[in-house]
């Protein structure tokens, strides 16, 4: 089996990780493209003695550490540093956090991907806990047509110290609630009760004001092709509590960072 055939099934998930790490679809996808380009140029950098998914993420980590990819559109420059790249990129602590909570790697696997020891993984986990604590509490709009899932999300969000300002089941409800509440974060299902698209509802909300959005879907690979405008933050159903916490924290990290940049 060729490297292309080996890595193809893992690319949607690598895009998810890269986007969450950078807070941007364009920047995350640019890093994935850099990984693919490196593999084409030198297939020998792909480890053959480990699981293919772990091997792909390890190559990504090597590219991430050695190459600065600047593919940010003008609308996202509030996250860029003086040299035009993402300021300081993502510290190792957040890489560990996303690898273990969102991508499902063990601490030992995360250590292998990042080429560090397990003790460093534990230390990084402690560091990201302090970093997340700096994220301010915010109002959250939930767009979810399944009552039980909506209740679970509400309990989880409030347990993190945020306030749920509404739960919309349809496109029209979502837009109306967002317009009234102006939430600081939106959690959105893809398929809504009236048969409409959560993506369309969110796009209409984003035409009115800027807000970080986390999408929830059972079919992430359908939304992570790297072709059209797609979600930056994505949770797969059925979701794990730690995964939701991780993505919420990451989304609010970039929101807080952008606000600080604008205020500077």
Residue 75 has pLDDT above 50, yes or no: no
Residues in the chain: 264
Residue 76 reports pLDDT greater than 60? no
* pLDDT above 50 for 78: no
Q: Show me where the domains of the chain are located.
A: 3-132, 136-263
Range with the poorest average pLDDT among 193-197, 236-240, 250-254: 250-254
- For the segment 164-181, what is each residue's pLDDT rounded down to a tens digit? 999 999 999 999 999 999
CB 69 within 8 Å of CB 34: yes
pLDDT at 30 > cutoff 70: yes
| Better-scored residue on pLDDT, 121 or 90 | 121
pLDDT score at 7:
93
Please determine, for residue 229, whether its predicted confidence score (pLDDT) is greater than 50.
Answer: yes
Please state, rounded to an integer, the average pLDDT across all residues of the chain.
Answer: 81
Judge: domain 136-263, CATH 3.40.50.2300.
Answer: yes
**Token digits of residue 225:** 């092709």
Query: What is the distance between the alpha carbons of residues 103 and 147, in angstroms, rounded to a whole number?
Result: 27
Most confident of 122-126, 238-242, 260-264: 238-242
- 28-37, 59-68, 107-116, 148-157: least confident range: 59-68
Helix (H/G/I), strand (E/B), else coil: 51: coil
Q: How confident is the model at residue 68 (pLDDT cuts 50, 70, 90)?
A: low
Position with higher pLDDT, 132 vs 201: 201
* pLDDT, tens digit (0-9, with 9 covering 90-100), for 140-152: 999 999 999 999 9
* Percentage, residues of the chain above pLDDT 70: 78
Q: What does the pLDDT read at residue 66?
A: 81
Residue among 156, 162, 97 at smallest CA distance from 125: 97
User: What pTM did the predictor assign?
Assistant: 0.62
CATH H-level superfamily of 3-132: PhyR, sigma-like (SL) domain (1.20.140.160)
What 3-state DSSP class applies to 216?
A: strand
C-alpha–C-alpha distance, residues 124 and 149, integer Å: 31
With b meaning 16 or more CB within 10 Å and e meaning fewer, what string describes 49-87? eeebbbbbbbbbbbbbeeeebebbeeebeebbeeeebbe
């Amino acid at each position: 089996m060729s490297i292309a055939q080996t890595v193809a099934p893992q690319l949607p998930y690598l895009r998810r990780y890269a986007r969450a790490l950078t807070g941007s679809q364009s920047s995350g996808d640019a890093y994935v493209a850099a990984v693919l380009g490196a593999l084409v140029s030198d297939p020998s950098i792909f480890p053959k003695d480990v699981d293919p998914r772990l091997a792909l993420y390890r190559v990504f980590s090597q590219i991430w550490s050695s190459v600065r990819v600047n593919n940010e559109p003008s609308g996202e420059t509030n996250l860029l540093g003086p040299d035009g790249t993402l300021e300081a990129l993502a510290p190792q602590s957040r890489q560990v956090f996303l690898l273990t909570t969102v991508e499902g790697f063990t601490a030992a696997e995360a250590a292998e991907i990042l080429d560090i020891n397990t003790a460093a993984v534990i230390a990084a986990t402690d560091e990201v806990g302090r970093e997340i604590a700096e994220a301010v509490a915010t109002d959250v709009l939930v767009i979810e047509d399944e009552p039980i899932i909506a209740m679970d999300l509400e309990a989880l969000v409030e347990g993190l110290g945020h306030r749920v300002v509404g739960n919309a089941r349809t496109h029209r409800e979502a837009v109306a609630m967002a317009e009234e509440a102006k939430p600081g974060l939106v959690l959105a299902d893809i398929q809504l009760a009236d048969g409409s698209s959560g993506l369309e509802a969110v796009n209409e909300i984003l035409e009115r004001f800027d807000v970080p959005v986390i999408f929830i879907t059972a079919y992430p690979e359908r939304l992570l092709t790297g072709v059209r405008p797609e979600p930056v933050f994505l949770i797969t159903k059925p979701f794990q509590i730690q995964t939701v916490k991780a993505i919420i924290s990451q989304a609010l990290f970039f929101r807080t960072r952008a606000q600080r940049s604008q205020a500077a």
